[in-house]
Structure 1
Amino acid sequence: MAEPVAAGAVRSLARLTKQLHSSLDLSPLTNPRTGCVRLPASAHRSGTCSTPVLPDPDGDPNEALAALSLGATMLDLRRLSKHLTMMLTVLNTAGTTEPTPQPKPRTPRKSPRLEVLTGPTIVETRAPAIRCNLEDDPRHAALHAALSTPIRPRDDHSGPAFSALLRMAANGWRTDDVLSAARTAPALEYLRTGRYGGTGRVQRPDIDRFALRQWDRALAAWNRWTQKHPCRAETTTDKGGRFRAHQIQHAAGTDPTQWSGNAGVHRRCVLDALCLIAWETGRTEFDIDQRRLALTAGVTQPTASRALSWLRENGWITRVDTCRGTRSDRYRLDLPAVEVRTESQGVPAPDPLLGTRLHQILLHARHDLWTSTGLGGACGATHRALLSGHHSTSSLSQATGLPAATVTRHLRLLQDLGLVTRCGRAVKKVVSAMAAAAVKLGVAGVIEARQRLYTAESLMWEWWQRELAWRRAPRSRKPVRAEHPLPLLRGRFPTGKEGRADFAGALGRVLASLSRAVALAA
């Protein structure tokens, strides 16, 4: 640094960098009294010397040291902080952050575990994106009362504000809701103003940016606590969603033939994704857009649209409200007209591991391997049935609803790809075998590319809705374009020579921005 820097600025920058690079050690940067960072080439206690990581392996280390010796200014730090915030926002919007760890069920030793499979998860399922009616939740009422409680001028403002943000994270608040509360809630006065003198307060220059930084800190703290206390981190209040998901899964399993074939497998994956959302939110009604649902179920957006239409026609779901602007359709899970009888004298309790089981099934269905033309979703269903313990052809046919000849053909294809042994059993190293098969068929990275495309389309639509709001607003009350956290969406929507909206150009710009962010993160 060419000039001294405040400890608070370094602490904020270090915590922001920690969210993008988990290997960063925060202790030297967040302790202004005794913390220090060793200079490059300085001796280490293990007997070696610290060596800077060079962008070019064949480069000269002296050139890197010379670049570091030039010194940086506060303007450089602001630019770095702005760049890191943009990267973090893009990655969170694209759904590339690490998913919340799920509890691992007890599985038999002979069946391979699927929880280590990687792939896109439901984007912002637990907290931000699923809109539910929280007003009837007693915890929400208590949190609303705490936010409405003013703080005396002489009391500490930062502690109650961070405590309120932690409660918001535990109750599943969205980022937009937090920003709205930060502008008006009395308990969040710390996010709007800073202390000036004894009891005076002065307004902060950028309230939204400061609130987002504190909100990221609260989310990180809540995630660390949930990882250490997974049994006590249950924040879902069941409003009938878990019981309805259990009923639907039981009803769907009574007749496997209706889920046979590629179309049937895709419909079942979409239904499983809806049940997983109901399980995690605890509600039977929620908003979900088709692209995010398609990424969750491992299908394309047109396939998800056709599956939703079929589920509505057959009484599995009901569309309560249609989409408006950036808000997606609202669906309600319903039981079909067919009565499902059980031999139990009472209503069976929901399976406590149903959410984990659905998560495993959808992880398997989202693999790049099943996007190959020669395999498809039906072959994936056969492989899932084989992993769940069905070994004979008749058992696999009964579990999947497919003819015996189709099951035999699937087993032959899986054996050629190295996923099934000659004895008809699944290989033990199923994860590496599926990855190698995807590379062999040339479909590795298809789901990731589809996720990037769908995220770019959603961001482009949000950009266009903001442009329409700006155009339709009166001249004296035009919205400020710089309010959006993504710099790309703050400018005007691209237009052609005739003045018409250039959707292709806007999609290309968003895709390029996402690709750059992913490349920088890698």
Structure 2
Amino acid sequence: MYKLEEREQAHRTLTRFLAELYPRREVRAAAGRSGMWLNHFPPKQSVPIEGMDLDRPVAVHLALHLRPREGRRFLFVTFDCDAKKVGAAQVAEEAALLAEAARAEGIEPVTAASGSPGGRHVWTGCAEGVPPAVARRINAAAKRLCPSLDKSPLGNPQEGLVRPPGAAHRNGGYSTLITHTIEEAVKALGPRSAPAQAFERLAVRLEAMAAAQPSQTSGQTPGDGPTVTGHGSRTVPPSITQRGPRLRHIVEDAHGCPKLDAPWRPLGERAMKGLRRSLSARHDHSNYPHAVARSMALAGWTRAEGLAVVRDAASSPALEWLRTERQADGSRRPRDEDETARLWARVWWLAVEDAARMPRRPEDDGRPAATDEVQQAVTDLFARMRAAGRARWSRESGPADAAILSALAWLMLLAGTTDVSANVRRLGVLGGYTAQTASLALWRLIQDGWITVTADAERRAGKARRVTLATSHECTDHHRHKCAIYEAPDDVSPVHPGSDRSGTPAAPAPPTPSLESLRALLIHQQADVWHHLGHHAARTLWSIRQLNKPRLADLMADTGYGRRTTLRHLHRLQALQLVATGPTRRGETTYAVTSRSLYQAAQETGTAGRIAGMAVTARVDQAVHEWWAAEETHRALPYKQRPRRAAADQTVIPGMDPRGRAYPRHENGRPDHARARTIEAQRIGAPGILAHAQQLARASELIDPAHLSATGAQQPPRRAGRRVVLPSRSHCPHCHAAPGQRCTTAGTGRPSARWHAARRRAAQARADQAVRPTRG
């Protein structure tokens, strides 16, 4: 009677588990026959769940394809503890240890007796899916803690299988729940399952627990072990050992220097900002190299790669302490190269030891931080923008709002986080608008609930407000307020005009926004020609680019503009040879984009170079703002405590703080902001920055003020040793060259020679004009 009730309870548990939690309609069945089942679940033994033999051992996949166009993710992170090599008491103890670690990170574990004597299964669920890299980290750390763990289920995303609760065992018995009912287990593993971030924290916890175990060889913890090769008997200082044990493996590079066992990647934006920070005499220069070196170690760099950056003074102002030393009079003396290398070796060793004790992050597995989450958030944002309707983005302020949202999305993908800095000057250039228009658009997006402010701006610190995607908002009484969309419907494709299309297949899903696609969108919307045509025409041209030879009705449905407005946009675009008519379809004219660039059209309208000028203005404004903030800090000090400063016009030499000069003022004592702009424009190399921006505009590349440089413009190659052929009809009176031959007149001071040099320059100008691309 007892066995019959146990069998019926197991059948109910298995049926409920598969129906509520397993998305597939087939499971793997054990090979063999009744009474002689094998511990083998081949792919050919998949059986449908409906009508299967409930007394036959079956297993389910832990990793599945949960979303289209994505790889496998672990729906269940299950620990299979086997009592074959260890006793049942140790298995129970280790299963309780793993369950307690999961519970500490907010993950509710569901423990089941596997059916074999003493075996345990610890089930944890994640509805959004755990990346395989995180599962491998959890699996490796758990194996070091629990010798009874079978690594194969979590180590193979393709074929990782575990028998679910209620499944039969090959030797008799069933997998039974120990502490949960089937209803509680379904809730814990399904609707109330933990997010993927909790499993990343679980990986860090298990790795820390495993690293804290005594070493089998030396009996010491990793943090107290011998030092890295190349530093003798030096021990790690307490400031680093207090972080805890090592969580990352330290290896040696090709030169025998210590480095982290991590894939190489470029430095992040925050690390680059710290590397390029200019330090004044008031800063302690010796404190800054450690943070920079630690970022390089975390990025998988070697000591030699870091030393090359140290020796480049232009790219690493924050590392001046390694190149020079301070004298008694306050000046700095250059260090010997061997001394610089010795100091860097010490800094690098401490940075590697410090980095090895920091919690692991997704970057350590070769992928950017929270890439999947940020990509999903940006994709959801564009889906919600489409669901908001064309009328939202075709109204008077619609293009500006859409442009700023696109710029923010690009910055989120670039930074790997949805919490980004909203500098209105930078957003304005990326969106093709002035800073004032970008500020108003940002205010509207905040009021409508598309984004929310996470940190207010700090004017004196030079920090812009930080924003992120909003999930709710409070409606205002403004007459132009229109609530943001927070849940995108499944189908947000445009409504096709004309005949009934209910029988046609659904429109293809819009492409997933990526850095490349958003970059193309930003390049399109920041073109100079839109300051003549208007940004509403930009939306029409972008629709023509995205659609395949659309008709007038298709453009109206995609953009939300009326017939008259759309025809006006098309007429003006055709006048600038940006759009041409294509073949008729169903008796209607189609439109296609020509090969003419937007910069050539801007040259014809006289607006070329406007965005480049705005980018330079943004850089100059930022420099002047930092100078004025330093001036306010200086004036806030008591008069006797104010340090002496250099004159405003003094040249800034390397190592000098540019904000340590006195701010320019008029004779009446009022600040002279115009003169400050002139001085800062000269200091940062505004003409070179403008040339760089104009070159990017001509090449149809993205203009980002943060990435412009005074030396970024590429100079045209010079053709050495070749002279211009003079288009003359007679012999040269100076060098006697025949018509069509090269002139060999030397640059003497005679009037005839100067006249001949002027003819050569004129011929060179005509030759250069001939090779340039013609306009139109």
Q: TM-score range by the shorter chain?
A: 0.5 to 0.7
Question: Deviation of residue 292 (structure 1)?
Answer: 0.6
| Inter-partner Cα distance in structure 2 for 1:288 and 1:174 | 19
In structure 2, the CA distance between the partners of 1:517 and 1:137, relative to structure 1 (3 Å rule), is: farther
Q: Are 1:464 and 2:628 counterparts?
A: yes
**8 Å contact from structure 2 (residues 663, 676) kept in 1:** yes
Distance of 2:408 and 2:332 partners within structure 1: 42
2-structure distance, mates of 1:246, 1:437: 32
Q: Match for residue 397 of structure 1? A: 556
Match of 2:603 among 439, 443, 464: 439
Q: Give the whole-Å Cα distance in 2 for the aligned partners of 1:396 and 1:271.
A: 22
Q: Is the 8 A contact 1:171 1:235 kept in 2?
A: no
Q: 1:425 aligns with which of 591, 605, 616?
A: 591
Q: Is the 8 A contact 1:239 1:283 kept in 2?
A: no
SS in 2 for 1:174: helix
1:173 aligns with 2:333: no
1:323 CA drift (Å): 0.8
Say which of 442, 445, 448 aligns to 2:612.
448
Q: 1:239 to 1:384 in 2, by over 3 A?
A: closer
Call closer, same or farther: CA 1:171–1:350 in 2, change over 3 Å.
farther
Q: Counterpart of 2:544 in structure 1: which amino acid?
A: L
Summarize deviations over 1:69-89 as a string: whole Å, max 9, x none: xxxxxxxxxxxxxxxxxxxxx
Give the letter for the 2:602 counterpart: A
| SS in structure 1 at match of 2:420 | strand
Identify the residue that residue 506 of structure 1 maps to in structure 2. Answer: 676
3-state SS of the aligned residue for 1:331?
A: strand
For residues 379 and 169 of structure 1, the distance between their equivalents in structure 2, rounded to whole angstroms, comes to 39
Displacement of 1:499 in angstroms is 1.8
2:438 alignment counterpart: 304
Segment of structure 1 superposing worse, 330-339 or 435-444: 330-339
User: Counterparts of 1:480 and 1:295 in 2: how far apart (Å)?
Assistant: 35
User: How many pairs are equivalent?
Assistant: 347
User: CA offset at residue 503 of structure 1?
Assistant: 1.3
Match of 2:489 among 341, 344, 352: 341
- Deviation, 1:239, is 7.3
Matched, 1:366 2:536: no
Counterpart residue number, 1:66: none
* Contact 1:262–1:376 (CA under 8 A) maintained in structure 2: no
Residue identity matched to 1:271: L
Query: Aligned with 2:467: secondary structure?
Result: strand
1: distance between equivalents of 2:641 and 2:257?
Answer: 38
| Alignment partner of 1:281 is 2:451 | no
Q: Extract unaligned runs of 5+ from structure 1.
A: 1-135, 197-202, 215-231
Distance change (3 Å), C-alpha of 1:263 and 1:337: closer
Offset of residue 234 of structure 1: 4.8
**Cα offset, 1:515, TM superposition:** 3.2
Whether the aligned pair in 2 keeps the contact of 1:285 and 1:331 (CA below 8 Å) is yes
Q: Which has the higher helix share?
A: 1
Q: Is the 8 A contact 1:242 1:279 kept in 2?
A: yes
Deviation at 1:398, TM superposition (A): 1.4
Q: 2:541 and 2:390 mapped to 1: Cα distance? A: 15
Structure 1 pair 427/243, CA: closer, same or farther in 2 (3 Å)?
A: closer
Letter in 1 for 2:541: H
Tell me, yes or no, if the aligned pair for 1:243 and 1:350 is still in contact at 8 Å.
no
Partners of 1:355 and 1:316 in 2: how far apart? 21
Q: In the alignment, is the contact (CA less than 8 A) between 2:627 and 2:663 conserved in 1?
A: yes
Question: Quick check: 1:383 aligned with 2:541?
Answer: yes
Contact 1:287 1:330 in 2 (8 A): yes
Q: Secondary structure at the match of 2:671?
A: coil
Q: In 2, Cα distance between the equivalents of 1:297 and 1:504?
A: 27
Instruction: Calculate the aligned-residue CA RMSD, in Å.
Output: 4.5
Give distance in 1, aligned partners of 2:202 and 2:656. 32
Shift of 1:365: 0.4
The one-letter code of the counterpart of 1:359 is R
The 5-angstrom pairing of residues 39-438 of structure 1 reads 169-178=266-275, 182-184=288-290, 192-193=321-322, 205=333, 234-238=367-371, 240-254=373-387, 255-324=389-458, 325=460, 326-335=462-471, 336-337=484-485, 339-342=487-490, 353-372=513-532, 375-389=533-547, 391-423=550-582, 424-431=590-597, 434-438=598-602
**SS of equivalent residue, structure 1 residue 364:** helix
Q: Relative to 1, partners in 2 of residues 1:177 and 1:137: Cα closer, same or farther, differing over 3 Å?
A: farther
Contact kept? 2:418, 2:469, Cα under 8 Å = yes
Q: Per-residue displacement from partner, 1:326-364 (whole Å, max 9, x unpaired)?
A: 0110111124355422269xxxx9965533222111110
- Other structure's SS at 1:327 match: coil
CA distance in 1, matches of 2:265, 2:386: 37
**Unmatched segments (≥5 aa) in structure 2:** 1-200, 209-222, 235-251, 278-284, 295-302, 308-318, 326-330, 345-364, 472-483, 493-508, 583-589, 647-651, 692-709, 714-776
Q: TM-score, normalised by structure 2?
A: 0.39
CA distance in 2, matches of 1:490, 1:435: 41
Is the contact made by 1:150 and 1:186 (CA closer than 8 Å) also made in structure 2?
no
Which position in structure 2 is the counterpart of 1:48? none
Q: Normalization by structure 1: what TM-score?
A: 0.56
Aligned equivalents of 1:339, 1:261: Cα separation in 2: 22
SS of 2:581's equivalent in the other structure is coil
Deviation at 1:476, TM superposition (A): 5.6
Structure number with larger C-alpha Rg: 2
* Inter-CA distance 371–486: structure 2 relative to 1 (3 Å threshold): farther
SS in 1 for 2:529: helix
Residues 295 and 451, structure 1, Cα contact 8 Å, conserved in 2: yes
In structure 2, distance between residues paired with 1:449 and 1:233: 38
Task: Give the whole-Å Cα distance in 1 for the aligned partners of 2:510 and 2:555.
Answer: 26
- What SS is found at the alignment partner of 2:454? strand
Q: Is the 8 A contact 1:151 1:186 kept in 2?
A: no
Residue by residue over 1:435-480, the C-alpha shift from the partner in whole angstroms, topping out at 9 and shown as x without a partner, is 2211110001111011111111111101111222334456568498
Structure 1 or 2: more strand by fraction: 2
Deviation at 1:162, TM superposition (A): 9.8
Deviation of 1:172 after TM superposition, in Å, equals 3.8
Three-state SS of the structure 1 residue aligned to 2:664 is coil
